[in-house]
Amino acid sequence: MPSSINTNKSTFFTLRLASDAIHVLDQRALPREQRILKITTPDDMIGAIQDMSVRGAPAIGVAGAFGIVLSARGHRHLERGRLIEAVQNDAEWIREARPTAVNLMWAVDRMLIALEKLSAQADFDNDDIVRELEYEAQAIYDEDIATCNAIGEAGKHVIPSGSSVITCCNTGSLATAGYGTALGVIRSAWAEHKSLRVIPCETRPRLQGAKLTTWELQQDGIPFTLISDNMAAVVMRDGLPGAGPIACVIAGADRIAANGDSANKIGTYSLACLAKTHGIPFYIAAPLSTVDFNCPSGGDIPIEERAKEEMTHMGEIPITPDEITVYNPAFDVTPAELITGIITEKGLVTPENLKTLQG
Interface with ligand MRU includes 178 (CB under 6 A)?
A: no
Beta bridge partners of 200: 167
Least Å distance, CB 338 to ligand MRU, is 16
Interacting residues of 354 by C-beta distance below 8 A, sequence separation 6+: 256, 258, 259, 260, 291, 342
CB 125 within 8 A of CB 206: no
Interface with ligand MRU includes 253 (CB under 6 A)?
A: yes
Interface with ligand MRU includes 44 (CB under 6 A)?
A: no
CB atoms within 10 A of CB 72: 26
Interface with ligand MRU includes 155 (CB under 6 A)?
A: no
What is the rounded CA–CA span in Å between residue 84 and residue 77? 12
Least Å distance, CB 154 to ligand MRU, is 15
What is the rounded CA–CA span in Å between residue 291 and residue 344? 10
From the list 290, 304, 214, the residue with the least C-alpha distance to 256 is 290
- Of 21, 83, 330, 354, the one binding ligand MRU by CB under 6 A: 330
- Of 134, 220, 254, 332, the one binding ligand MRU by CB under 6 A: 254
Task: Single out the catalytic residue among 254, 261, 292, 332.
Answer: 254
Interface with ligand MRU includes 71 (CB under 6 A)?
A: no
Interface with ligand MRU includes 152 (CB under 6 A)?
A: no
Name which of 253 and 291 has its Cβ closer to ligand MRU. Answer: 253
User: Which part of the chain contacts ligand MRU (CB under 6 A), choosing from 65-73, 125-133, 152-160, 250-258?
Assistant: 250-258
- Of 8, 14, 171, 259, the one binding ligand MRU by CB under 6 A: 171
Interface with ligand MRU includes 56 (CB under 6 A)?
A: yes
Draw the binding track, 197-236, toward ligand MRU (x: CB under 6 A; -: no contact).
-----------x----------------------------
What is the rounded CA–CA span in Å between residue 195 and residue 121? 55
Interface with ligand MRU includes 22 (CB under 6 A)?
A: no
Burial 328-349 (b: 16+ CB within 10 A, else e): bebbbbbbbebbbbbbbbebbb
From the list 274, 252, 257, 261, the residue with the least C-alpha distance to 336 is 261
Residues binding ligand MRU: number (CB under 6 A)? 17
What is the rounded CA–CA span in Å between residue 169 and residue 175? 10
Least Å distance, CB 52 to ligand MRU, is 6
Least Å distance, CB 181 to ligand MRU, is 4
Name which of 132 and 310 has its Cβ closer to ligand MRU. Answer: 310
List, in sequence order, the alpha helices (H) in the chain.
42-50, 57-74, 80-95, 102-119, 126-155, 182-191, 208, 214-220, 232-238, 268-277, 309-312
CB atoms within 10 A of CB 201: 29
- Of 55, 95, 110, 197, the one binding ligand MRU by CB under 6 A: 55
Interface with ligand MRU includes 57 (CB under 6 A)?
A: yes
Least Å distance, CB 283 to ligand MRU, is 13
The total number of residues shown for the chain amounts to 359
Least Å distance, CB 175 to ligand MRU, is 4
From the list 128, 41, 121, 45, the residue with the least C-alpha distance to 86 is 41
Residue 142 annotated to the active site: no
Interface with ligand MRU includes 176 (CB under 6 A)?
A: yes
Interface with ligand MRU includes 264 (CB under 6 A)?
A: yes
From the list 289, 304, 292, 298, the residue with the least C-alpha distance to 339 is 298
Active site residues: 254
Applying CB under 6 A, the residues found at the interface with ligand MRU are 55-58, 101, 169, 171, 175-176, 181, 208, 252-254, 264-265, 330
